[in-house]
């Protein structure tokens, strides 16, 4: 019985130490994550469900985070190229024209830094993208008829996911009024092709821990979603005078492989101790 009690105590201590190690203490730390970076341009919707279509690029890496000692995420930073570069495409049917295609060419994120995640006003921060979004129009081959939305910031620093106004001239000219990423709930009004005004349903951000809707995000199984929106004005005044462009950054913090292995050792120790205690 004493051997069992000693084994159980050692196994429990091992697991406890590992949990404390994963959770960390106040200050800076590194948390591994998996996630997606999704973009919706021109308010594209699926032809069957009516749900928005997001072209998504998966990614994984390690975020540099700070917490307040209670696992409330205060800030984090992402390296450039965590998502992408990737080229993705889809064919969709919006509500007022026939099928066309949207391309994202060599999309990837630039470095980003986010703060104010827990407590106070909705947090967030700037993170630009690079690449090109291109919507192929209907009346000619795509290389001749498209609405381009350059994602790479302008020389003045304005860009999608950063802020500022970016102007791109061409056969189809676009002006993008951009905003940084936020955990808040964006709101915008859009003038539709028939000159009415609509308020599109835009996604909002959130940060929570393993227990749903808690704010203890800075630990494995914490989840984070930031959103950015841009109001796009085009020279296609008869079709898309104004339209939203939306970005969603979704992260899920996961244990690093070494931590999972050590946790497995702790569980194995407890299992072995239980077997020694069982009568033969």
- Mean predicted confidence (pLDDT) in 22-28: 58
Sequence spans of domains, the chain? 25-255
Q: What is the pLDDT of residues 200-214, one digit of tens each?
A: 889 999 988 887 667
Say how far apart CA 123 and CA 147 lie, in whole Å: 32
* 125: its two tokens: 């921060």
Q: Give yes or no for residue 254 having a pLDDT over 80.
A: yes
Which among 123, 150, 266, 132 has a CA at the least distance from the CA of 207? 123
The rounded mean pLDDT for the chain is 77
Say how far apart CA 64 and CA 196 lie, in whole Å: 45
pLDDT of residue 28: 86
pLDDT of residue 192: 80
Please check whether residue 92 is in contact with residue 46, taking contact to mean a CB–CB distance below 8 angstroms.
yes
Please check whether residue 177 is in contact with residue 159, taking contact to mean a CB–CB distance below 8 angstroms.
no
Element (H, E) at 67: strand 55-67
- Mean predicted confidence (pLDDT) in 135-161: 82
Contacts of 157 (CB under 8 A, 6+ apart): 164
Cα separation values, 173 from 35, 169, 170, 192, Å: 33, 4, 5, 18
Position 157 confidence tier, pLDDT thresholds 50, 70, 90: very high
Cα separation values, 111 from 65, 80, 130, Å: 14, 4, 11
Q: Give yes or no for residue 26 having a pLDDT over 90.
A: no
Q: Give yes or no for residue 14 having a pLDDT over 70.
A: no
pLDDT of residue 166: 93
Q: Give yes or no for residue 232 having a pLDDT over 80.
A: yes
What are the φ and ψ backbone dihedral angles of 261, each rounded to 5 degrees? -65, -45
What are the φ and ψ backbone dihedral angles of 41, each rounded to 5 degrees? -115, 145
pLDDT of residue 42: 73
């Amino acid at each position: 019985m004493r051997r069992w009690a000693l084994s159980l105590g050692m196994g429990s201590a091992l697991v406890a130490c590992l949990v404390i190690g994963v959770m960390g203490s106040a200050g800076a730390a590194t948390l591994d994550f998996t996630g997606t970076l999704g973009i919706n341009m021109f308010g594209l919707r699926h032809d069957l469900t009516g749900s928005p279509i997001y072209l998504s690029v998966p990614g994984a890496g390690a975020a540099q985070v700070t917490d307040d000692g209670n696992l409330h995420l205060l800030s984090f930073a992402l390296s450039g190229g965590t998502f992408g570069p990737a080229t993705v495409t889809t064919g969709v049917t919006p509500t007022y024209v026939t099928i066309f295609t949207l391309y994202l060419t060599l999309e990837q994120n630039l470095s980003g830094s986010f703060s104010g995640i827990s407590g106070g006003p909705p947090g967030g921060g700037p993170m630009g993208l690079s690449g090109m979004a291109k919507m192929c129009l209907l009346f000619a081959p795509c290389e001749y008829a498209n609405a381009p939305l350059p994602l790479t910031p302008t020389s003045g620093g304005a860009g999608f996911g950063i802020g500022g106004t970016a102007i791109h001239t061409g056969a189809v000219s676009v002006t993008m009024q951009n905003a940084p990423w936020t955990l808040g709930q964006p709101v915008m009004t859009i003038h539709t092709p028939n000159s009415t005004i609509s308020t599109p349903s835009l996604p909002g951000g959130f940060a929570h821990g393993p227990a749903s809707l808690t704010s203890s995000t800075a630990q494995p199984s914490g989840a984070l979603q930031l959103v950015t929106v841009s109001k796009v004005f085009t020279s296609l005044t008869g079709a898309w005078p104004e339209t939203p462009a939306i970005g969603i950054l979704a992260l899920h913090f996961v244990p690093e492989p070494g931590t999972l292995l050590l946790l497995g050792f702790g569980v194995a120790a407890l299992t072995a101790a239980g077997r020694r205690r069982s009568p033969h």
